């Protein structure tokens, strides 16, 4: 199993919900995407991220197909102007 985790911060509070909806819309549309979880955090402390994306794939190669999939690319366009900070972790387990 290959996991891809991304945390985001946004300039406006409502951007987190719009981003969450866009990310959730990928579910069922990208065959390689085996698991998708999106969560928003109401905590506004400096350490907190506004949103987290957890995704799982059968392999790194499956992740790479997802990464380049048109549905995923559309979401990146939506997020581009809203995200002020992001960090990711990819790992095999």
Return the CATH number at 52: 3.30.70.100
The predicted model gives 23-46 an average pLDDT of: 96
Q: What is the largest CA-CA distance in the chain?
A: 36
Q: Distances from the Cα of 13 to the Cαs of 23, 60, 61, 63, 66, in angstroms? A: 16, 33, 34, 29, 28
What is the extent of the structural domain holding 79? 2-92
The predicted model gives 36-48 an average pLDDT of: 93
d(CA 65, CA 84): 26
What is residue 44's predicted lDDT score, i.e. its pLDDT? Answer: 86
Among 60, 38, 61, 58, which residue's Cα sits nearest to residue 50? Answer: 38
Query: What is the pTM assigned to this prediction?
Result: 0.94
Number of structural domains (the chain) is: 1
């Amino acid at each position: 199993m290959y996991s891809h985790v991304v945390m985001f911060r946004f300039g406006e509070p409502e951007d987190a919900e719009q981003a969450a909806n866009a990310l959730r819309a990928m579910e069922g549309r990208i065959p390689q995407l085996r698991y998708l979880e999106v969560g928003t955090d109401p905590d506004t402390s400096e350490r907190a991220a506004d949103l987290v994306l957890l995704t799982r794939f059968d392999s790194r190669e499956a992740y790479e197909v997802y990464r380049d999939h048109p549905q995923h690319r559309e979401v990146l366009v939506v997020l581009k102007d809203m995200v002020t900070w992001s960090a990711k972790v990819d790992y095999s387990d």
